């Protein structure tokens, strides 16, 4: 029987390419990222192409997802956040599509790879820091000294605050990656039980049904959490409290 | 826009044309505008548009603040969600601290010391994040003044009020 973590194996598709010592072969992970992009693009353009006054089912889904993120940005970032709506909407739809595509049997979940989620998180982190620096200049650094703290403690506090600021991309990426990886591993483990227990496999099968539903919830929830945390970080960068 | 509406239609007309938020505002506004809604009392001057906008803003601000509070303090509001968040925050702090310590050791050649120091500092930073997450101080670095529901109003002219009650450089921050 296949090991539960075999599903995370990266496999190259087609020829293996090497550029300057880096392996840039096309992989199953990359294939599913492209698939996710295509699915989102087709979903949004096709469903909105009718432009019905009374939306069809698909148009309604597209409008709902748009409004969901638009409201999220407005409530969490404020009116200045409108400029960053495309970024957050793209992130949300990409992660959501990746998570949900991963729920299809035999597919690959690219969000279960730390490097993918970390790349997105570090992009958000660097972008947010640059926005804060552009908006507030050097005043941004006052962020790291809590108001009213005794000056004697400043060296210690500043280091701790900087570290806790730097831990943002890690916690942002680990949250998504760990949720997806743990969930999918658990599903494979229970799937193994079903096969191994023969007739008594009905019990783990029941658990598996509930687990599948839970995984769909987690898939949507983690996309939402990633998007809303990006919004909150943007809010901090723009308003600096 | 208000005047022709008032002249043209009775009570029901107004209700039909306006959204539900405005109806609520009319109910909030007290006797003067109650007369206005009924369309009977023409002597009293109608409340100005600025007044109306002000009241709309107040109602909306309240709603947004309530909704925002839900969102911010309880990302995943379940116990498991909170536990997971706390775990991730702790681990992230330690990882960042240890990585920076290790990097500094490699660079400065102070083999174990920076790693040890930054490991604990990173753990402290992670604890700080956990504390903020658990007490609902939000996810931001530094101490946000949450007494007035930080950021509940949506930027705009009121934007400078939210950031801090007492600090003298509040105006500067927004500028």
Domain boundaries defined on chain B: 2-71, 76-141
Q: List the 62-81 stretch of B: residues with Cβ below 8 A of A.
A: 64, 67-68, 71-72, 75-76
Lowest mean pLDDT among A67-76, B79-88, B102-111: B79-88
In 3-state terms, what secondary structure has residue A12? strand
A171 in B contact zone (CB under 8 Å): yes
Give residue-wise pLDDT tens across range A134-149. 988 888 888 787 777 7
* A72 and A231 Cβ atoms separated by less than 8 Å: yes
Q: Residue B98's pLDDT is what? A: 92
How does strand A22-23 pair with strand A18-19?
antiparallel
Indicate yes or no: CB of B139 within 8 angstroms of CB of A229: yes
Beta strands per DSSP E along chain A: 18-19, 22-23
Percent of chain B predicted with pLDDT > 70? 39
* A165 and B123 Cβ atoms separated by less than 8 Å: no
pTM over 0.90? The answer is no
Give residue-wise pLDDT tens across range B5-21. 444 444 444 444 444 44
Q: From the candidates B125, B126, B133, B167, which should be mutated to test the interface with A, based on the most A CB atoms within 10 A? A: B125
Q: Residue B16's pLDDT is what? A: 43
CA-angle at A63, arms to A175 and A180, nearest 5°: 20
**Average pLDDT in the B129-141 region?**
69
Give me the residues paired with residue A23 across strands: A18
B92 in A contact zone (CB under 8 Å): yes
Structure tokens at B120: 């604990």
* pLDDT surpasses 50 at A213: yes
**Average pLDDT in the A161-182 region?**
90
**Average pLDDT in the B145-162 region?**
38
Q: Residue B30's pLDDT is what? A: 47
Label residue B166 by pLDDT band (50, 70, 90).
Answer: very low
Give me the residues paired with residue A12 across strands: A27
- B29: Cβ contacts below 8 Å, ≥ 6 apart: B47, B55
Indicate yes or no: CB of B85 within 8 angstroms of CB of A175: yes
With a cut of 0.85, is the ipTM above it? no
Q: Which of B95, B125, B156 sits opposite A79 (nearest CB)?
A: B156
Q: Residue A143's pLDDT is what? A: 77
Give A116: exposed, middle or buried? Use CB within 10 Å, 0-12, 13-18, 19+.
Answer: buried
* pLDDT surpasses 50 at B53: yes
Indicate yes or no: CB of B91 within 8 angstroms of CB of A174: yes
If one compares B77 and A57, the residue with the highest pLDDT of the two is A57
* Alpha-carbon torsion (A111, A117, A123, A125), positive or negative: positive
Give residue-wise pLDDT tens across range A96-127. 999 999 999 889 999 999 999 999 999 999 99
Domain boundaries defined on chain A: 9-239
Label residue A10 by pLDDT band (50, 70, 90).
Answer: confident
Q: Which of B104, B128, B79 is nearest to A171 (CA)?
A: B128
If one compares A67 and B6, the residue with the highest pLDDT of the two is A67
CA B157 to mean position of chain CA atoms: 15
B158 in A contact zone (CB under 8 Å): no
Nearest chain A residue (CA) to B157:
A79
Distance CA B101, CA A75 (A): 38
If one compares A29 and B66, the residue with the highest pLDDT of the two is A29
Structure tokens at B112: 């174990």
Chain B CB contacts of A147 under 8 Å are 142-143, 145, 164, 167
Angle between helices B31-38 and B20-28 (to 10 degrees): 130
**Average pLDDT in the A8-14 region?**
85
* B64 and A75 Cβ atoms separated by less than 8 Å: yes
Q: Residue B24's pLDDT is what? A: 46
Lowest mean pLDDT among A14-28, B5-19, B105-119: B5-19
Indicate yes or no: CB of A79 within 8 angstroms of CB of B155: yes
Q: Residue A100's pLDDT is what? A: 94
């Amino acid at each position: 029987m296949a090991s539960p973590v075999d599903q995370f194996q990266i496999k190259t598709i087609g020829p293996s390419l090497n550029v300057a010592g880096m392996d840039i072969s096309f992989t199953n992970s990359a294939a599913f990222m492209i698939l996710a992009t295509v699915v989102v693009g087709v979903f949004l353009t096709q469903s909105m192409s009718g432009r019905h006054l009374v939306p069809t089912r698909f148009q309604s889904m597209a409008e709902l997802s748009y409004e969901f993120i638009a409201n999220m940005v407005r409530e969490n970032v404020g009116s200045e956040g409108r400029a960053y709506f495309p970024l957050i909407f793209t992130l949300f739809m990409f992660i959501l599509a990746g998570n949900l595509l991963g729920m299809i049997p035999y597919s690959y979940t690219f969000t279960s790879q730390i490097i993918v989620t970390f790349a997105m998180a570090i992009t958000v982190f660097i972008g947010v820091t640059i926005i804060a620096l552009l908006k507030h200049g050097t005043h941004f650094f006052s962020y790291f000294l809590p108001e009213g703290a005794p000056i004697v403690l400043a060296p210690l506090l500043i280091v701790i605050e900087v570290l806790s600021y730097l831990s943002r991309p890690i916690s942002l990426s680990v949250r998504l990656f760990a949720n997806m990886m743990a969930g999918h591993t658990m599903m494979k483990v229970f799937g193994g039980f079903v096969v191994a227990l023969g007739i008594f496999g009905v019990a783990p099968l029941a658990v598996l049904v509930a687990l599948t539903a839970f995984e769909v919830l987690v898939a949507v929830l983690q996309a939402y959490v990633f998007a809303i945390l990006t919004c909150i970080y943007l809010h901090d960068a723009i308003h600096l409290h | 826009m208000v005047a022709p509406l008032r002249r043209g239609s009775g009570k029901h007309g107004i209700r039909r044309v306006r959204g539900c938020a405005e109806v609520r505002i009319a109910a909030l506004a007290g006797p003067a505008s109650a007369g206005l809604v009924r369309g009977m009392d023409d002597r009293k001057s109608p409340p100005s548009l600025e007044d109306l906008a002000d009241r709309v803003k107040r109602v909306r601000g309240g709603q947004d603040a309530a909704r925002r509070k839900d969102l911010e303090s309880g990302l995943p509001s379940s116990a498991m969600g909170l536990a997971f968040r706390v775990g991730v925050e702790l681990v992230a702090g330690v990882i960042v601290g240890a990585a920076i310590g290790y990097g500094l050791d490699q660079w400065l050649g102070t083999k174990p010391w920076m790693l040890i120091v930054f490991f604990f500092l990173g753990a402290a930073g992670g604890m700080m994040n956990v504390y903020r997450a658990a007490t609902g101080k939000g996810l931001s670095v530094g101490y946000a003044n949450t007494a007035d529901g930080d950021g509940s109003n949506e930027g705009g002219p009121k934007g400078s009020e939210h950031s801090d009650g007492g600090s003298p450089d509040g105006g500067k921050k927004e500028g």
